[in-house]
Structure 1
Amino acid sequence: MSRTILDIHILQTVPPSNVNRDDTGSPKTAVYGGVRRSRVSSQAWKRATRQAFAQLLDPSELGVRTKKVAEALAERIAALHPTTEAPEALALAAETITAATGARIVPPTRKSKAANDGAPDPAPESSYLMFLSARQLDGLAEFAVEALASGDRTTFLKDKANRARARELADTRHSVDIALFGRMVADATDINVDAAAQVAHAIGVHAVEIESDYYTAVDDRNSEAEPGAGMIGIVDFNSSTLYRYAAVDVDQLYRNLSAGPGTDEQAGKAVRRAVEAFVEGFVASIPTGKINTFANHTLPDAVIVKLRSARPISFVGAFERPVPADQSGGHVAAACRKLAAFVPRIEKAYGAEATGASWVLLVGDGTAPLAELGREVTLPGLVEAVGAAVDEAVSRTAADAIATRAEQRG
């Protein structure tokens, strides 16, 4: 069966930086091809992409991932029912979340013990991060107010039909970020959401060494008779040309965004907005670790986007043998030459040539070898072109879904 898969490949040079630290404070690394490489975890770049969504999408299309889910819901309950006191709104929110997800929402023990004698308990929390869309929270708030109006909210929330309705409210109308990155609900696995997007750990195309910056800070009020630093410290860093990769299963994204009331046409438009936001957010974002220290605000040197009909394909194998610096000392040009040679070979060997369109965004003379891999575009042009191609593919998917439902009814 034909699929619609979007592959995004990026080469990006990052100067001295520490965008993603390990437990010792050093930049993360990995051994690949027998040498130590720079690494940025997939989670770090997913977080950066999600943060970029705030500038690219309407808040109603996004979600919140938090343990403080009762607080988020209580705010909405209070807005709908202003006479509800804060403690009651929190308690009602906690009970509603439990009805919808099965999760226990209680005051955290550690914070409760730390509270002063006689002080109220802290707000109840989930024991794990819970991911709910703005529309799901709005629906659950309306449900909670309905429970309040029933006169006996405990009986209302224990009713089997009402609990099923609450579960449905938490499992429909998913936000773009939930649809892309998925959701796990430990206490109700039936409302988990399979991620439509996969993001690889970014990895350096060449060997890397960790360096250390010894720094000092001067006390502004010290006199000349008080020489020396007010503080000293060490921060580790490295610099690297990274290969970044992500894939989006457009069909899974459509299924995720189709959950709940709405037409196939509305879901199709939501898919296009989601894909366009993901492409722009993933390409242009960067994790913010130690960003104030290093100001490593770079953009990619090269971006390759391919639309496929079978399965995602990473091109990281092009860099299994580390890329040596060229005569000028850089790695980008050599990395582009290796990638330009690798891509057609692996696609031809496996009969995996992209059946859809391919686009490239290139900066600098060193990236010229990649021009043969697709139509050259700017970032706005790339976002528009990918959105249009995905919209066309999703229209076919929606038409098939409508036809299937018609056959089932007939």
Structure 2
Amino acid sequence: MDSLADPHLRFEPVVADPTGPRELVILGSTGSIGTQAIDVVLRNPDRFRVVGLSAAGGRLELLAEQALQLGVRTVAVARAEAVPELRAILAAKARPGAEAPEILAGPDAATELARMECHSVLNGITGSIGLAPTLAALEAGRVLVLANKESLIVGGPLVKAVAKPGQIVPVDSEHTALFQGLMGGTRREVRKLVVTASGGPFRGWSRDRLAGVTREQALAHPNWDMGPVITVNSATLVNKGLEVIEAHLLYDIPFEQIEVVVHPQSIVHSMVEFTDGSTIAQASPPDMRMPIALGLGWPDRVPDAAPGCDWTRAASWEFFPLDTEAFPSVGLARAVGALGGTAPAVFNAANEECVDAFLDGRLPFTGIVDTVAKVVAEHGAPTQGTSLTLPDVLAAETWARATATAYVREGGR
């Protein structure tokens, strides 16, 4: 099986670079990844030009400001009812005589935008709703700069069926680190991938203590500034489980060769161990602009994308084994990934519902993974292999959300 993200392929772009800046579409532009990507673009106008933006529609003022500042041709918004307000904001903020961008609206707007003529599509949407835009971008021949791990996880076989080797460049800090580390040898020389985890705000806590975690505590990540769902996923380590599945799918490395180690400083973002005993680690301060810039600029690096390590100052880096009793999510994700088929879609959708329930005060912190495990067990044998279709994935997600909601309503019983 070819790797979906192959760092050894310093490939000719799928869409040839135009004369001048590389044209980009950014999906999820008002979220954490999107806003940081725009910062990279604005600091490198000679390298990048954004031609399309998409957002859910909850931050229309910001979306309009982005569209006008970047001079994009097209804006996509998922909430069709937000279009009149968006038009009004664009009209009020636009320079006299400036041409208003085209507006696409509705649940399929981001998918339509992903097919737009450009070089690369950055998928920064949160959640499995990013699957359809991921497939659209790949089918259109775009380079997919992937921050939406859920689309790969829930639709792995579908993505593998359409992606060309090297067409996906990962943006997660861990997978960017693996991407770079894998350049140090051939695939047959890889002994294991080591995915690092900060441990979140509750490193060292017992399971009993975790039961009383509050919303505010779970959203206070010690190292990273992220959206609420990803932040809670980092606190439960579900995010790390998803990353193990993603690493397996991206690099075609067996699950038994992928480990997780806790590294509280979040400086070493992941490591590759080779068969001769060498380990290559990628290190940088926790700043998503570096992996975003590498994804947007690949196969070239973007100078000064983010600050590097300050080697003139004393520092200590620590590594600890994962506490699988307090944080069972990684083991559950590994089992789900090995099942394949619709099982990862069930895992991810149930988790999204449980995170929402926790944030709303309807589920305790430890109830998130406990409930997800019950939904996965009830799901049983998944739809498997090459027979998997997009309707299969969507049906599995719908079932998982309903089942998780029922468990939450019943108090987790």
Using the size of structure 1 for normalisation, the TM-score is 0.28
Using the size of structure 2 for normalisation, the TM-score is 0.28
Larger gyration radius, structure 1 or structure 2: 1
Which one has more relative contact order, counting CA pairs under 8 Å at least 6 apart? Answer: 1
